[in-house]
Amino acid sequence: MQGLVRTLFQDAFRVRSRSQQTLERMQRGREWLSVYLPGDSSERMTTLLHLDPAREFILLDEPSPVPEHVPERGGEVFFLGLAAGVYAGLRCVYEGRVGWHGRLSLRLRWPHAVYHLQRRSHLRVPVESRDVLDLELQRKGSRSVSAECVDLSISGMRVRLKSHEEEPFAVNDWLDQVSFKLDRQAVNSPALVRFVQSMRPAAHHRATHMLGLQFQQLHSRQEMVLQRYVFRRDRELVPDSRL
């Protein structure tokens, strides 16, 4: 974790008090957040549940996968995610686990530092539905599964399954192939499932799942296809996404 924190959370990218604006945009976008807990070197995924600027605390959903050990109170938490299309990072003090509408959540003190991270590092962009087509996930010994891409980076993607699966996906599942067309060019790569989250069903629909996938053994030519799209899409979003 220290190496990642040194790379992303630098004084050069620290901004003056924009914590409430940044958090509100994260909450409105209902984006996934990467979180690093005290004493835990693993990246975990979470969402922002509640903001209380008056009492100066925030609540994050229980991380996925769930940590093996209870984080130490008073330790520093780092989390980062998209706020209206721009990557932002925040640092908070961990105060403990609390209940929130029948579920466990992490209570954090109001952020004491906010960063607008370098956009070309670890960049992830939301996609237009017409840009990523024919997305299929293939596990060994199973039929292929159709999905839709939510956002994309050079190293992975977040996808929403189109239907409920009888054999659910799990963290660290190996996918023999993730295939899709990006800007009319074919991309194929093995992938590792980095996180799985159940999605609440919309009206008249069954519950489904969101997966975070990390590409493995991606060919350099296909990496360039991803890079060109991500940087182009990022430039499209910049004029309307300043924090």
CATH, residue 101: 2.30.110.10
**Read out DSSP for 83-121?**
ETTEEEEEEEEEEEEEEETTEEEEEEEPPSEEEE--TTS
**Claim to verify: residue 235 and residue 128 sit in the same structural domain:** yes
The residue among 83, 116, 149 that closes a domain is: 116
Long-range Cβ pairs for the range 14-17 (8 Å, 24+): 14/113, 14/114, 14/115, 15/114, 15/115, 15/116, 15/243, 17/114
Output the domain CATH number for residue 200.
2.40.10.220
Segments forming the whole domain that contains residue 221 = 124-240
Same domain, yes or no, for 17 and 96?
A: yes
State which of 100, 116, 132 marks the end of a domain. Answer: 116
pLDDT of residue 189: 95
Residue 88 Cα distances to 97, 179, 182, 206, 207, angstroms: 24, 30, 26, 33, 30
136 and 184, same structural domain?
Answer: yes
The reply to whether 107 and 14 lie within a common domain is: yes
pLDDT digits 0-9 by tens, 104-123: 999 999 999 888 765 554 57
51-63 residue pLDDT tens: 999 999 999 999 9
- Cis, bond preceding 65 (omega within 30 deg of 0): yes
Q: Give residue 66's pLDDT.
A: 85
Do 10 and 80 lie in a common domain?
yes
Residue numbers in the chain where pLDDT is lower than 50 = 1-4, 121, 203-204, 240-243
| Claim to verify: residue 106 and residue 175 sit in the same structural domain | no
Spell out a b/e string for 187-211, using b for 16 or more CB atoms within 10 Å of the CB, else e.
bebbbebbbbbeeeeeeeeeebbbb
- Are residues 17 and 98 both part of a single domain? yes
Number of domains composing the chain: 2
Domain match, 128 and 236 both:
yes
Q: Which of 116, 146, 181 is the last residue of a domain?
A: 116
95 and 132 both lie in a single domain: no
49 and 108, same domain (yes or no):
yes
The per-residue pLDDT for 67 is: 85
Query: What pLDDT score does 200 carry?
Result: 59
pLDDT at 50: 95
- Per-residue model confidence (pLDDT) at position 165: 65
Do 130 and 227 share a domain, yes or no? yes
112 and 161 together in one domain = no
